[in-house]
Amino acid sequence: MADLTKLVERAQAGDKEAFIDLIEHCKQALYKTAIAMLKNDADAADAIQDTVLKCYENLRGLREPRFFKTWLTRILINQCKKIIKHRGNMVSLHELPEQECESADMSGGEFLEMLNQLEEQYRIVLYLYYVEEFSVKEVGVILEMNENTVKTRLSRGRTKLKKMYCFE
């Protein structure tokens, strides 16, 4: 974390190599977040490209370098929302075939498939919390919502997952 903060400070001072290293460090998380919201590689690439550009243009305005990843994720989510709004919120969800309760698997890929079946308000909160490992407070900052709302959506999202996949 200290290394990331140092990179941010160097990038804010105009070090282009440090900025490239920052984006390299975060690119996988950016992609996973964009795909979780948009479910489309082309749209995810557009959102990431716009996010990197906005980040580059506004990096000097970031007051707390230690919150870089939270700030960057917030920019990405706003870009994803713009794309969703632009395309008329026409996200197609593929229904999974019914599964036996015992066969449900909580491995990484299966968990993401399960998340994709939830409404966006629960999907993005669960994704940021469990996959990207942001704290409840950080998720609240990223999504611009109260911490109690984040906790409520986490709880309701977990309940929906349990009902969908017969977990008790």
pLDDT tens, residue by residue, 90-139: 444 443 333 343 334 445 677 777 888 888 888 889 888 988 889 999 99
Q: What's the Cα-to-Cα distance from 122 to each of 27, 47, 153, 159, rounded to whole Å? A: 23, 20, 6, 10
End-to-end CA distance of the chain: 37
163 has pLDDT over 90: no
Q: Decide: 165 and 101 in contact? Cβ < 8 Å.
A: yes
pLDDT tens, residue by residue, 1-31: 678 899 999 999 999 999 999 999 999 999 9
Output DSSP code: residue 59. Answer: G
